[in-house]
Chains A and B, each alone.
Chain A
Amino acid sequence: MIAAGELHSILALAQRDLTKLLRDRARLITTVIFPFIFIGALGGTLAANFGRAPGFDFLTLTFTGVYAQTLFQSTAMGMISLVIDRENDFSQELFIAPVSRYTIIAGRILGETLVALPQALAIIAFGLVIGISISLTQLVALIGTGLVVAFFGGAFGVLVLAFLNNQRAANQVFPFIFLPQFFLAGVFTPIQVMPWYLELASRIAPLRYAVDFVRGVFYAGSPDYPHVVLQDPAANLAVILPAFAACLVVGTFFFVRSERNR
């Protein structure tokens, strides 16, 4: 049970991140441009060439994949702000506060989730514009699963950052961690069939479960479901929830340790 004071702290920390985004117009614009490129250019090209040839709509597959990937990656990379705070000396102010270290990290994850939310809404709006059919139930499903994926991405980001000392290292390491996952998680392309070694790599990629979770809920009841979804959403959630908790606990422990044990 979270104490009221800790909950208020989480909200205050989250608002800080959102406020910073809303005051940074350049960042606000660039964060919504990339998903447009992925869905519009890549998805559009694939859809134009393949259409429904594989047995499902390619554009919708790309749309759901990019939606999950954007939220996961946005919050994960948003955690770099923890390192930026350290470099700007602001982390001193946070880590001297009489609140749990988990509260500080949770506040940042919620904040980066809120930062990712405008992107999520922009992607959904863009999807509707380019003709992707989204029912009201699917809209609710997208937002609900999107929040889960964003939290998961944030915790994953904390785990990665716990072992990185500075922003430069983080900016170099994150693309290496994410780029392979784009393909291993089937963000743009189906991964129903893969060589055994890629299958193995795919199964340890956290993004795989995030993407498949979103698709599993979005495609529920659709004839495309068996062609697109790898496993039941409940099975994905059974991986995501413990992985989230493990990333949060281990990541926070090592991040705080690196902060205090210099």
Chain B
Amino acid sequence: MLAAQPRTDVEARSETDTIVVTDLVKRYKSAELNAVDGISFTVRAGELFALLGPNGAGKTTTISILTTTLAPTSGTAVIGGHDLASDPNGVRRAVGIIFQKPSLDLNLTAEENVRLHAILYGLFPYRPFFTLMPITYRDRVRELAGILGIEGEMFKPVKTFSGGMKRKLEIVRSLMHRPRVLFLDEPTAGLDAPSRRALWDYLRAVRAETRATVFLTTHYLDEAEDADRICILDKGKIVAEGSPAGVKRDLTHEYLVVDAADRDALRRELAARGVTYRETPLFEIPLDRQGAHALLKSIDTPLTTVRTVAPSLEDAYIKVLARS
């Protein structure tokens, strides 16, 4: 009888963590610095995880390694229980990806692009025409195209598509094999505001339906506000990690902005009560120790301006990059 093998840390974590990255390093040929410099992180099943960072921080390099299109210099990664080095095909089956630059054959129709993908993933047998494909394939294409609102465009050449439609088509294609992890590499780059909003509405619907883990890189910080966890990269290293609220809490502070017609009186009163503030020239009072309500109740000087300021993730992001 075989004795049970002791489980490694990575194996144990893989049960709850869909992505486990350990000491990942990538140095491009003839480069002097590492594009990715020894990063480690985990992504739990079902999470929306956002990898943030300025241009050249290493986001696309990381995503390329995790999706097997780029070989790492060192380090390990386990995705969906499949080791990147020893089981790349297992990783490929477990992930779907929407690339930063659309990866579509513009000479084919939308459906032909999807069909090629479906056959390459072994989902359906090869058939030369859509009408000859199994009914399950045709239904799946119609269902996904319907969710993304491009049902009527599926038989048109992709070269006639707008940027937003290409993105939607890539989403349809990437969901065909029901991936456990969906990688989105700056999915809204180059899209106008209405297209961005529409795409996120669709992605939320898709996420609710598929319950897939979503790994996102983006330049738009408001898109990362909805993430369960974020990781900020700079020069290939992780400089901040946690929930958006946690990262904001660690790096920034909520504050109260007040002003008065008699500023001298307000200054004297704040000093007498030991309240720290900053004049910009309005009075900014950090809300670390006290709530806005209690603070306002304690001020007798008539106020002309009162508002609270909650920093955004972008404020925290800029602060962490400046610090690093």
Contacts and interface: CB of A to CB of B under 8 A. Distances in A.
Interface residues of B, number: 33
A20 B159 CA distance: 13
A260 B108 CA distance: 26
Interface in B111-139: 112, 115-117, 119-122, 125-126, 128
A9 B99 contact: no
A16 B105 contact: yes
Given A16-B116, A23-B107, A89-B103, 7 more contacts: A9-B120, A12-B120, A92-B97, A92-B99, A95-B68, A97-B117, A260-B70
Interface string A1-26: 00011011101110110011001100
18 contacts: A8-B122, A11-B126, A12-B119, A13-B120, A15-B128, A20-B108, A24-B107, A88-B106, A92-B99, A95-B68, A95-B69, A96-B69, A98-B92, A98-B93, A99-B120, A99-B122, A262-B29, A262-B70
Contact of A89 (B70, B93, B99, B126): B99
Interface string A82-104: 00000011101111111100000
B71 interface: yes
Contacts of A88: 106
Contacts of A9: 119-120, 122, 126
B102 interface: yes
Nearest to A93: B103
Interface residues of A, number: 29
Q: Chain B's interface: helix, strand, loop or mixed, by majority?
A: loop
Nearest to B128: A15
A262 B70 CA distance: 7
B107 A20 contact: yes
B200 interface: no
B67 interface: yes
B157 to A, nearest CB: 8
Given A12-B126, A97-B92, A98-B93, A89 B120 contact: no
A244 to B, nearest CB: 24
A11 B128 CA distance: 9
